[in-house]
Each structure stands twice: as C-alpha cells, then as structure tokens.
Amino acid sequence: MPELPEVEVVRAGLAPAVAGARVRGVEAHDPRALTRHVGAPADFEARLTGREIAGTARRGKFLWMPLSDDPARGPEAVMVHLGMSGQMLLRAPGAPAERHERVRVWIEHPDHGELAVVFADQRTFGSLAIDELVPTPDGNPGGFGDAAPLVPRQAAHIARDPLDPAFDDALFRRRLSGKASAVKRVLLDQTVVSGVGNIYADEALWASRIHPETLGRDLSTRAANRLLAEVRAVLAKALAEGGTSFDAQYVNVNGQAGYFAHSLNAYGRRGKPCPRCGTTIVRERFTNRSSHVCPRCQRRPMRVET
C-alpha cells in the first residue's frame, strides 16, 4: 500500500498541472472507484464539472484537491485515497484508456492547456470523493501543500504526519508513553501519527535499534525522540528517492517507479545480513502483517504485548 512518501510524490507531481485548472468534463467508468463519495457517479461528474482546482494537499496517506467554492455547498475538495494500488496519472487529452482506468477528468490549465487526470486502480480499494472541507481544530493548515486551515471531513480524524510543520512532538511522546501496546502498532495507528506504514515502521525501528514489540510506555523520552527522528529521516530519504516500488502498481503521475527499495535496511531482507552488524535479518509475525528485525541490534523486550 502506498505510504506517505509515495502519496507525496503523487501530490507534488499533480500540483503544477492541476492548480488553477478548470474541469471541463468527468467520466466515471466504475462506481467502485467512488465508494467514498456520497452520491451516485452522475452526481460526482456533475458536481466536479466546471469547478476550478485550487491546488493539492496531503495529510498522511490522504490526498485532496481543493475546489472553487460552490455557493450552495461551501468549501469542498476532491479527496483521493489510493488504497493498495491506486494511481493518479497525467495524460494527453486524446491518450488511450489506461489499464484498470476507473475515472478520467479532463482539465484545462491557463498555462499547460488541456490534460487528462486518470485514476487507475487494479484492486479497486482506492476511491475518489467530493467531500466537505472542515476547519482544523488547531487552526493550522489542514495538510502539506495548502495553507488553508481546512481538511476533508473524511480525513479529519487522521493525525498529522511527522513531516507536517504543525506536527506536535510533545503530543506524540505523550500518546506513545500512554500506550500499553507494541510500539510498531502505535506507529501504524493513524490517529496517533499518520503516513507510516509497515515498510517505514520497520525501517525506522531498525534505525533506532528498537524491537517492534517493545511497549510504547516502556520507551524513555530519549528513545521516543530517537524513534521520531528516524521516522522523519526514513520518510525524507524515501521521498527524495521517489518512494518504494516493489511492483508496477506504485508509480508517480508520469508512470515512473520509485527506487527506495534499493535503500532498505530491514524490510523485505529476511535471510540477508544486517547492514549494521552482519546478523541475519529475520521476519517475525506481527498481527496480520510481519516485521523484519535484526535480532542483535533490536533486542526483544522481556515483556511483550499479549
């Protein structure tokens, strides 16, 4: 599933093409791509056609494109959730349909002319929706890329991500210290910190020498600070390398894959030597996922979550 770096690469790629563009037409080929939209596909098409796209914003794994105001409805945005295999692609107006294409939006930009924004999704877990924008509780921008203190209602429960300038380090430490659950579970809890999935959780825990089963409340302030710093470092490095691609499902808006997979130290490296100490990386069961751990660098705690 795309995580923060992958979604940010998509957001940054869309921004110059859609900011200031007007929607000239919409065609929803598959209603499964609009499961988060309150209304029929025809409603989505009608409400989006003619609107101007103000830009792009992201919080964690959620991406949205604010729209020009509809006097009858108030602030709204097209919210994009990529699910496991969703892609947002920029194409020439007459380009043939993409494989697994679900929605196509024709736009006209004052500088770039006509373009097509295509939402393709092989597994159909992703979705588009026109959603109401609501004020952020802290008055800070709703997400990265947009200064407006607004966030889609469907994403309002999602915590800020570690790369967000408004992320509250002290609040994260307090929430972590109050958790009697495994630290990896806390990192994957989008109501505590957003944008961190299985890959980057494993990488950050390896970098900070913390076992995934260590209880959140058992981490010292120093260890919590180290973990947060490594989460940010891993996300920033992955972002600089275009995200992590293990197959053809994650691509940027031009259809190109990221290459952070070549920089992974723990995730997906079972049976290979730890880059730090040479001990063989192991894969351990973790809920319905798995964790990749160095047994020497990341000592299993005496007390684990039950």
Spatial separation of the C-alpha atoms in residues 249 and 124, rounded to whole Å: 12
Spatial separation of the C-alpha atoms in residues 17 and 11, rounded to whole Å: 10
> 3-class DSSP state for residue 182?
strand
Residue 305 has pLDDT above 70, yes or no: no
Per the annotation, where are the binding residues for DNA?
100, 123, 179
Assess whether 101 carries a catalytic annotation: no
Spatial separation of the C-alpha atoms in residues 101 and 206, rounded to whole Å: 38
**Cβ-Cβ contacts under 8 Å for 234 (sequence gap 6 or more):** 200, 203, 204, 207
User: Identity (one letter) of the amino acid at 17?
Assistant: A
- Give the residue among 135, 148, 167 at the shortest CA–CA distance from 4: 167
Helix (H) or strand (E) holding 169: helix 169-177
pLDDT at 180: 94
**Cβ-Cβ contacts under 8 Å for 288 (sequence gap 6 or more):** none
pLDDT at 4: 86
**Cβ-Cβ contacts under 8 Å for 119 (sequence gap 6 or more):** 33, 80, 86, 87, 88, 89, 101, 102, 103, 104, 105, 126, 128
pLDDT at 38: 95
pLDDT at 292: 96
Query: Among 189-193, 209-213, 270-274, 301-305, whose mean pLDDT is lowest?
Result: 301-305
Q: Which two tokens stand for residue 210?
A: 């913390």
pLDDT at 259: 40
pLDDT at 118: 96
Residue 243 has pLDDT above 70, yes or no: no
11, 61, 91, 104: the catalytic one is: 61
Per the annotation, where are the binding residues?
100, 123, 179
Q: How far is CA 14 from CA 146, 210, 239, 278, in A?
A: 13, 36, 15, 41
pLDDT at 266: 95
User: Quick one: pLDDT band at residue 239, thresholds 50, 70, 90?
Assistant: confident
User: Identity (one letter) of the amino acid at 286?
Assistant: F
List the beta strands (DSSP E) in 110-248.
113-121, 127-135, 150-152
Q: What is the mean pLDDT of residues 92-120?
A: 94
Spatial separation of the C-alpha atoms in residues 131 and 152, rounded to whole Å: 6
Residue 53 has pLDDT above 60, yes or no: yes
Q: What is the mean pLDDT of residues 130-145?
A: 96
pLDDT at 1: 61
Assess whether 3 carries a catalytic annotation: yes
Q: Which two tokens stand for residue 100?
A: 């697994």
Of residues 200 and 251, more confidence is placed in 200
pLDDT at 29: 94
Q: How much is the mean pLDDT over the chain?
A: 91
Backbone angles phi, psi at 224, to 5 degrees: -65, -40
Assess whether 237 carries a catalytic annotation: no
**Cβ-Cβ contacts under 8 Å for 130 (sequence gap 6 or more):** 37, 39, 44, 47, 48, 67, 76, 77, 78, 79
Do residues 77 and 67 lie in contact, with contact meaning Cβ atoms separated by under 8 Å? yes
Spatial separation of the C-alpha atoms in residues 115 and 105, rounded to whole Å: 8
217, 289, 299, 300: the catalytic one is: 289
Instruction: Dump pLDDT digits (tens) for 7-32.
Output: 998 999 999 999 999 999 999 999 99
User: Identity (one letter) of the amino acid at 299?
Assistant: R
Q: Domains, the chain, ranges and CATH?
A: 4-155 (3.20.190.10), 169-293 (1.10.8.50)
User: Quick one: pLDDT band at residue 245, thresholds 50, 70, 90?
Assistant: very low
Instruction: Dump pLDDT digits (tens) for 66-100.
Output: 999 887 888 999 999 999 889 999 999 889 999 99
End-to-end CA distance of the chain: 27
